[in-house]
Amino acid sequence: MKRSTIVLASVAAVLVLIGMSLVGGYNELIALDQSVSSQWAQVENVYQRRADLVPNLVETVKGAANFERGTLTDVTEARSQVGKLSVGKDALEDPQVFQRFQQAQDKLSGALSRLLAVSEAYPELRATQNFRDLQAQLEGTENRITVERQRFNEAAQAFNTKRNTFPTVLLANFFGTRFKEKPYFKARAGSEAAPQVKF
């Protein structure tokens, strides 16, 4: 009888340890998932800041005589596409939605870069205080976007690493879509080449 009690106690202890490990793994996945969600909200926040600055920039630039209308149209259209694409945390669960979001933001980034590059040929535009202020705010916002995207990728990496380690991967797979891998922001195609600016 004593031997069976020891075996039973040992089995119970092992089951308790496994249970504690599963609970700990689940809780850590929840914490990392919340970290990714929080960082995603920061990414959306800085993108919204940029989207809010664009109409002011466009109106300031419109005042410059003979400014390239095609560039303004590109910026306005890219800003419109970003506005139409409403994503939330859903983008973290669907790689296609995430990719569409990133492509729309990349298109706006490209259009803004062209706008700022073309503005160099218009000294009267660059001389206005409004334009200089908006340009400084946009440059600062672009830097914030880069930082927040990097932080998001770090949070996604921490989540994905924990999610895919053993035995947590078994737990994550058990809960199905609740703990799907998080996507990463990637560099825009062709971004390794320096942009060509012609006047």
Quick one: what percent of the chain has pLDDT higher than 70? 88
Q: Over range 19-37, report the average pLDDT.
A: 88
Res. 132 pLDDT band, cuts 50 70 90: confident
- For residues 177, 180, 185 and 189, what is the CA-based torsion angle, rounded to 10 degrees? -80
Q: Over range 48-71, report the average pLDDT.
A: 77
CA distance 197 to 12: 71
Question: Tell me, what's the pLDDT at 156?
Answer: 94
Tell me 197's DSSP state.
Answer: -
Q: Is 67 helix (H, G, I), strand (E, B) or coil?
A: coil
Res. 86 pLDDT band, cuts 50 70 90: low
More confident residue, 193 or 32: 32
Query: With 90 as the cut, is the pLDDT of residue 107 above it?
Result: no
Q: In degrees rounded to 5, what are phi and psi of residue 68?
A: -60, 110
Query: With 60 as the cut, is the pLDDT of residue 75 above it?
Result: yes
Query: With 50 as the cut, is the pLDDT of residue 102 above it?
Result: yes
What's the whole-number average pLDDT of the chain?
A: 82
Decide if 33 contacts 101 (C-beta within 8 A).
no
Which of 97-101, 121-125, 165-169 has the least mean pLDDT? Answer: 121-125
Say which residues have a Cβ less than 8 Å from residue 112's Cβ, sequence separation at least 6: 50, 54, 57, 75, 78, 138, 142
Q: Over range 120-134, report the average pLDDT.
A: 76
Decide if 16 contacts 118 (C-beta within 8 A).
no
Question: Tell me, what's the pLDDT at 199?
Answer: 38
Question: Tell me, what's the pLDDT at 163?
Answer: 93
Q: Which two tokens stand for residue 50?
A: 């940029």
Decide if 118 contacts 68 (C-beta within 8 A).
yes
Res. 84 pLDDT band, cuts 50 70 90: confident
Decide if 179 contacts 156 (C-beta within 8 A).
no
Res. 64 pLDDT band, cuts 50 70 90: low
Query: With 90 as the cut, is the pLDDT of residue 162 above it?
Result: yes
Decide if 79 contacts 51 (C-beta within 8 A).
yes
Q: Quick one: 22-179 is in which CATH superfamily? A: LemA-like domain (1.20.1440.20)
Helices (H) and strands (E) in the chain, counts: 7, 0
